[in-house]
Amino acid sequence: MDGLFITFEGADGSGKSTQARFLAEGLRELGFDVVLTREPGGCPVAEKIRDIVLDKNNTDILDITEAYLYAAARAQHVHEVILPALKQGKIVVCDRFIHSSVAYQGYGRNLGKERVLEINKHAVDGCLPDITFFITVNPESAFDRMNEQKERDRLETQEQAFYDRLFKGYLKILEDEKDTIIPIEAKGTKFETKEIVLAKAKAILQEKGLL
Ligand code: TMP
């Protein structure tokens, strides 16, 4: 594969979507051909699955169904958007990917990491991120940011215990994948965080001989 696959992870309210957008813009300014996309979603079929999975009226979705829905959206997204872009040598910046399933469904929903990886194996078809930026904020600021939103989706209306498991799950993933996941502590303004992420990305591109 010739391109570079960069993902952003973090809890709801961590500001990772803004950082994904900033990085895509920063890399474009450096002359790279960048595809900015997101999960769940990123292509028409996957966006429809997103509507189902985030609809808070769907109170009866089983945890296992939820895991398959995210994986189904991912299969479509990988084959329709991510793999073709990487094959054309582009940089793909994706807001959430498989680590979100491990964190939310594996740890948050208690389905277990192994089961979630098994479900996702065929969906990702070997397409895994080269680099993942994991935006960390303390859980209180994430909650404050979520509370500022007018509408919460289905995943944002869970009980506190779910978020505790999710937070610990993300830390476990970080511990397990130290080589490819870069933790970014979002302590300052979003613009300060943007500069930190861009500097790290540039260093990696230089290391890989791409810059
Ligand atoms: P977003 O708010 O970052 O767009 O993500 C939508 C929600 O979907 C968020 O609460 C996290 C959740 N999610 C999962 O539970 N599993 C997944 O695999 C993905 C990609 C997202």
**pLDDT tens across 20-76, in order?**
999 999 999 999 999 999 999 999 999 999 999 999 999 999 999 999 999 999 999
Q: 6 C-alpha to center of ligand 1: Å? A: 17
Q: CA dist 197 to 45, 61, 69, 100, Å?
A: 31, 36, 31, 19
Most ligand 1 atoms within 8 A of CB, residue of 9, 17, 39, 167 to mutate = 39
- What is the structure's pLDDT at 68? 98
The closest residue, in CA terms, to atom 16 on ligand 1 is: 101
Ligand 1 centroid, distance to 188 Cα (angstroms): 24
The yes-or-no verdict on residue 156 having pLDDT over 90 is no
* Closest by CA position to 9, among listed 128, 136, 118: 136
**What does the pLDDT look like over 71-111, one tens digit per residue?**
999 999 999 999 999 999 999 999 999 999 999 999 999 99
Does the pLDDT of residue 2 top 60, yes or no?
Answer: yes
User: From the CA of 98, how far away is ligand 1's center (Å)?
Assistant: 10
Mean of the pLDDT values across residues 141-162?
A: 73
Q: Exposed (0-12), middle (13-18) or buried (19+): which is 141, by Cβ within 10 Å?
A: middle
Give the residue with greater pLDDT, 26 vs 150: 26
What confidence score (pLDDT) does residue 203 get?
95
Residue 160 banded pLDDT, cuts 50, 70, 90: confident
Q: What integer pLDDT is reported at residue 143 of this predicted model?
A: 66
pTM of the entire predicted model = 0.94
